[in-house]
Amino acid sequence: MTTKTAKHNIWSTTVSLLTMIILLPACGSSGSTTSTPPTTTPPPPASFSYAEPAILNDGWTTANAADLGIDITRLEAMMDALPTQFDIVDSVAISYQGRLIFDETVRTELNTFDAWVDNTDLDMHVMFSASKSLASLAIGVAIDQGIFLDVDVPFLSLFDYSSYENWDDRKNDIRLLDVLTMRLGLEWNEWSPPYTSENNQMLRFYETETDFSKSLLDLPLADPPGSSFAYNTPAIVSLGQAIENRSPLTLIDFGFANILAPLDITNVEVFRTPTGLPDLGRGLYLSARDFLKFGQLYSNGGTWNGMRVVSEAWVAASVVAHTELTWQDPTQYDWQVSGYGYQWWLGHFDYNGRQITAYAARGHGEQNLLVMPEIGLVVAVFSHAFSAQDDEVNQTFRMIAEHIIPALPDL
C-alpha cells in the first residue's frame, strides 16, 4: 500500500456541486467497435477463487475464512454474482471474530468524486455521509479527554461568534447531544427535494456558504431543540469546527493523533470546506480495509488491538436509539432501520427466525459499514449507486443477507 498523508485540498466554490452529484462514476468498456462479428462465443468470466487477505502490517490479524468455519463457497458465489446482482459494488471487506477474512476491490476506473481530492488509488473511496460516524467518534474522544464536558454542553458555547441571524432564545438550548442525534430544531430539509435537484437545501448551502458553522447557526429555528429529527450534513461539519475551536490541535492533527494513528491508518484523503476545515459531514476517503477498522473498533467496545481509543461508555451510548425511526418499508429492504444514535443508524437483519442487530455508518451512493457484534461480524462495502434507485439501495443489504450471514458457522 502506498502511504499518503491527508490532502489539504480547499474546495473551490466556483465548481457546481450539483453537477458533480449527478455525474455517475465511470464504468464499462472503452467503447471500441469492430465491423467483424466474433466467430466464437467468448468464454464466461473466470469464477472467483477465495484467498486469505494479504498481510499488510496495518494492525489487522488476517485469517483464512475456512479455518474459522465459514463457508467460502458462499463468498465465492457472492463475488461471481457482482456483475449481475450486485453491480453497484466497488469493494468489500469483512472481519469475523476480530480477524480480517475478506478484502476485495473490484472497481477498475476512477470517478468524478476521486477528482475532488486528486485520488488516483482504486482502493481509496469517497465515504460521503459515512464520514459522520467518524465525526461522532472524534466527539467521543474529545469528551474522554475533557475537551468537552459532556453531550449536554450548550452547542453555541463551543463557538466564538458575536451574534447570530434569526435569533431565538431557544437556540441557547441546542446541546451537543442534539447535533449528534440530528435534532437541532433548525429550519432544514436536505432530503426533499433529493440531492439531484438544484433546489436541494444542502447543495445550495455548499455552493453559496463559506463559514459553514456560522451559516448553519444563523438558520431560523423551526422546532424546539431536541424535539424532532432532521438529517443535517452541515451540522456535522460544525462538530469538526467545535473540536478545532476547543482543542489545542487542529482538527486534522487531532484526528491523526487520536484516531488514525492508533488504528494504524496512514492512507486517508480529506475534502475541505471553503475555510479549509476537513468536512466530517461527507468528505473523508478511505480504503474498505481501513473503513472496516472503525466497525471493528465499535464491535470491540472502543479498543483496537488492546489499545483503548474511545471509552466503552461512548460506544454504548452511540448505538442506542435516541430517535426511533420506523419509516422503512420492511418488504423492500433486507436490513430494517429502527432508530438513530450518535451518527449511527440502528436496525436488524432477519435470519432463520431471529433478529440480528446491526448498526451502520451509511453514505450517499451506498457506502455502508455494518456492525453485528452478537455474531462477531463486521462488513464494509463501497459502492457507486449515486442515482439512489430503490433496488440499488438494497443491494448491499441483500448481499449481506443472502451470502455473508449464511456463510457463518452455527447460525
> What is the tens place of the pLDDT at every residue in 348-379?
999 999 999 999 999 999 999 999 999 999 99
**Mean pLDDT across 222-243:** 97
- Report which residue type is found at 54: A
Do 296 and 260 meet the contact criterion of CB atoms below 8 Å apart? no
Nearest residue to 125 (alpha-carbon basis) of 284, 8, 233, 257: 284
Q: 83 lies in a domain?
A: yes
| Same domain, residue pair 226 and 294 | no
Do 369 and 379 meet the contact criterion of CB atoms below 8 Å apart? yes
| Same domain, residue pair 401 and 298 | yes
| Same domain, residue pair 233 and 166 | yes
Which is more confident, 35 or 385?
A: 385
| Poorest-pLDDT segment among 227-241, 366-380, 384-398 | 384-398
Q: 273 lies in a domain?
A: no
| Same domain, residue pair 309 and 240 | no
| Same domain, residue pair 300 and 403 | yes
Which is more confident, 333 or 74?
A: 74
The CB density around residue 226, as the number of other CB atoms within 10 Å, is 15
| Same domain, residue pair 216 and 304 | no
Q: 26 lies in a domain?
A: no
- What pLDDT is attached to residue 279? 98
Per-residue pLDDT tens for 76-125? 999 999 999 999 999 999 999 999 999 999 999 999 999 999 999 999 99
| Same domain, residue pair 116 and 152 | no
Structural domain containing residue 71:
50-121+288-407
The count of structural domains within the chain is: 2
- Please state, in angstroms and rounded to a whole number, the distance separating the CA atoms of residues 285 and 272: 12
What are the φ/ψ torsions at residue 225 (nearest 5 degrees)? -55, 140
CATH number of the domain that 357 lies in? 3.40.710.10
Q: Which residues of 350-387 are buried (b: 16+ CB within 10 A; e: fewer)?
A: ebeeeebebbbbbbbbbbbbbbbbebebbbbbbbbbbe
- What pLDDT is attached to residue 332? 82
| Same domain, residue pair 301 and 390 | yes
- Please state, in angstroms and rounded to a whole number, the distance separating the CA atoms of residues 277 and 50: 41
| Same domain, residue pair 198 and 294 | no
- Band (388; pLDDT cuts 50, 70, 90): low
- Please state, in angstroms and rounded to a whole number, the distance separating the CA atoms of residues 81 and 258: 39
- What pLDDT is attached to residue 9? 36
Residue 328 scores a pLDDT above 80: no
- For the chain, state the CA radius of gyration: 21
% helix, strand, coil for the chain, step of 5: 35, 20, 50
| Same domain, residue pair 361 and 304 | yes
- Band (234; pLDDT cuts 50, 70, 90): very high
| Same domain, residue pair 89 and 188 | no
Q: 80 lies in a domain?
A: yes
Nearest residue to 357 (alpha-carbon basis) of 306, 301, 289, 405: 405
Q: 2 lies in a domain?
A: no
Q: 99 lies in a domain?
A: yes
Q: 348 lies in a domain?
A: yes
| Same domain, residue pair 317 and 207 | no
DSSP E strands: which ranges in 194-252?
none
Which is more confident, 4 or 259?
A: 259
Q: 130 lies in a domain?
A: no
